[in-house]
Structure formats: structure tokens, C-alpha cells
Amino acid sequence: MILETKKDILEVLGMPEEEFYKEVAPLAKMAREEQFGNALRVTSMMGYTNICKNMCLYCGMRAGNSCLERFRIEPDKVIEMGLDAAGHGFGRIFLIAGEDPKYSFSELVRIVRTLKERGMYVSLACGEFEKSQYEELASAGADEYVMKFEMSHADSFNRLNPSTNFEKRMKAIETIKGLGLRLASGNIVDWPGQTVDELADDIMLTKELGISWAPIIPYMPAIGTPLAAEKKRGNLFAIYKEIAILRLMIPGVNITAQQPGEDLRKGLSDPEANIASVNVGANTLFFDLLPDPLSQNFRVIDDRNISGTSHLYKIEKMGGFTLDTGKELVL
Ligand code: SF4
């Protein structure tokens, strides 16, 4: 099956479930196996501050939302937890944060440099910076930067992300790529009001950007946010379709397998839903370095529930996979 054009994408997005699982899902699963064999890529994740100055309409950590307790983790503690993960053979770390103006940028650079000195693969999602700051992060050894475009239609983006704008976001994406950092990017799938046409455009843009990782999940409501008032969660079938389409269009890309299932209380660590995602082409799992209740307060969405390493071993056993922990990086 060749998927190249928006028309091709719309065709898959419009397929009934039976046809999708007969015609598309097996090909996507095969494409994942051709790229990665039976291995699932594992990354440790740490949200080091949940304070954010921005007001994205869908995000639980938006400024002014009092439905969560705010925290900052001291840089030395971030380093300690990261190195501990490395010591246990986990060679990749994903540092994620709100846009917290009081978190020292030079300390963030020190964190990256220290973790790189230990050999770790460092991914970051800390928001929009100046070009010189991305340069500093790249010089410190950052490998990958997550800058999601969220919505490919400028009017949608500008409405849902009032603290920035689409032009600025795309410029940040170009800057990151221009510096030679790997770019991770993607969309929110099936947010309230998204049309199928817009979803297809999102997928086209994801392909055009030349990404290393698609950190995609369906829209999930967060308490205290304007969009949650619309009381709709993203459709699971839509995320499975996007995963499969991306696997077939960009075979070597990493795609998040930690997806929610029908029971939102299980969050992103619903074993059956994670395995269902792998079976349509996803390959990347996470575990949280944050202890409870900090983890629960890193609340971009409700019931995020990334879970600890026990979840990884459960998936490994249930699905008969192997775990690529990146241990060779930190031996
Ligand atoms: S999505 Fe990111 S930038 Fe927007 S409010 Fe949430 S943490 Fe802040």
C-alpha cells in the first residue's frame, strides 16, 4: 500500500474498522517489525517543572489553573534521578516542562551536559526558546527537541494556543532542524472541533517535517481547562489510524505506543491499549522518573499515569516483545 497524498490519507481515515484492520493495520505492523524487529524503544521521562506561563486551552498545566499543585525539581535532583536511570541501564531520557520563566536556563544546560557526559540520549520538550538558547542546548549535547505543531491549520492553532502563534511555532521548528537537532513533532488527534480534513493536513505536515519521533496521543480532557468544558475525549480509532498511516509513510520514525484505552483511569499506561498501538505500528514506551504525587501533578491531561518500569515489563511479557532500553549508551 502506498500512502503519499492527502487523498490517500483521507481514504484510510474514512475506512470502517473491519477494512482498516484487514487492509492497513497488518501492513503497519509488518513495517514496524521490519524497522525494529520485536523491540520496543524505552525512554525515561521526567517533568521537572509543571509551572507554565502559557495558556493553551487544552492543557491542565496552563497558567492560572488551580486544579493542580505546582512544583519545580531542583537541577541537582534532576541530574541525580537521570543518572540513577542510567545506572539501571536506561540510556535515554526525556526532559519535559512547562514554560517556566523561573527555571534557570543555564541550569537546564548543565543538566543536559551532565547527562550527556554519562552517555545518555537526551530529548527535551521545554517550549519555545530564542535561537541562541537552542544553540546552547545543542552545544551541551541535546539530541532531540520536541516541538509539536499541535494543529496544522493556523487559525486553529492560534485559537487554542493564545500565548504564541503558528508562525512563531513553525519558525521554532525550522530553527531546531537547522541546528541539526533531531526534531520530534506532531499533532493532537481528534480535539473537539477538529475535522477529518484538518487531521489529514496534520498528518501531511508531520510527514513533511522530517521528524525522528511522533509524540502523538489523542486529545484527553484536563480539568480546569476551557476545552474540557466541551466534554469530549479523542477517538481511539483515530489515533490507531494515524499511527498506522505514519508508520507506512515514514517507516523509520519512532511513534508513541503509550496510548490510552477505553478506561481513562488507566491513563497512558493501559496495557491492552499500548499493545493495540504497537500492533498498528507504534514502538515507543516511557516510564516516569517522578514519584507520586509529583507525577500526578504533571497534569497536561487528567489521568496521565505514565507509570514506572513495572509497566514496561508487563507489556514485554504480555506482548512477547523485547525492550530496547538504550543500555549500550550508558555501559
Ligand atoms: S501545552 Fe505546554 S506551553 Fe501550553 S500550557 Fe501546557 S505546558 Fe504550557
Query: pLDDT digits over 156-174, tens only?
Result: 999 999 999 999 999 999 9
CA nearest neighbour of 238 among 221, 211, 254, 260: 260
Query: Mean pLDDT in the chain?
Result: 97
Give domain status of residue 308, yes or no.
yes
Give domain status of residue 271, yes or no.
yes
pLDDT at position 321:
98
pLDDT at position 275:
98
Give domain status of residue 329, yes or no.
no
| pLDDT(303) > 90 | no
Give domain status of residue 330, yes or no.
no
| pLDDT(32) > 80 | yes
Q: Is 215 in the pocket of ligand 1 (CB under 6 A)?
A: no
Matching residue, cell 485559537? 159
Which CATH number does the domain housing residue 161 bear? 3.20.20.70
If one counts the domains in the chain, the total is 1
Give domain status of residue 210, yes or no.
yes
Mean pLDDT within 41-50:
98
Q: Is 96 in the pocket of ligand 1 (CB under 6 A)?
A: no
Q: Cα 241 to the chain's mean position, in Å?
A: 17
Which is more confident, 84 or 263? 84
Give domain status of residue 331, yes or no.
no
Q: Is 98 in the pocket of ligand 1 (CB under 6 A)?
A: yes
- All three cell numbers of 254, joined, read 519512532
pLDDT at position 331:
87
Give domain status of residue 1, yes or no.
no
Cβ atoms < 10 Å from Cβ of 159: 12
Q: What is the dihedral of CA 168, 174, 175, 177, to 10 degrees?
A: 150
- All three cell numbers of 4, joined, read 503519499
3-state secondary structure of 60: coil
Which is more confident, 290 or 231? 290
The b/e string for 129-149 (b: 16+ C-beta within 10 A; e otherwise) is: beeeebebbbebbbbbbbbbb
Residue pLDDT, tens place only, 211-261: 999 999 999 999 999 999 887 899 999 999 999 999 999 999 999 999 999
Q: Which of 51, 53, 58, 62 should be mutated for ligand 1, with most atoms under 8 A from CB?
A: 62
Domain encompassing residue 30? 6-324
Give pTM, 2 decimals: 0.97
pLDDT-derived band of residue 294, with 50, 70 and 90 as boundaries? very high
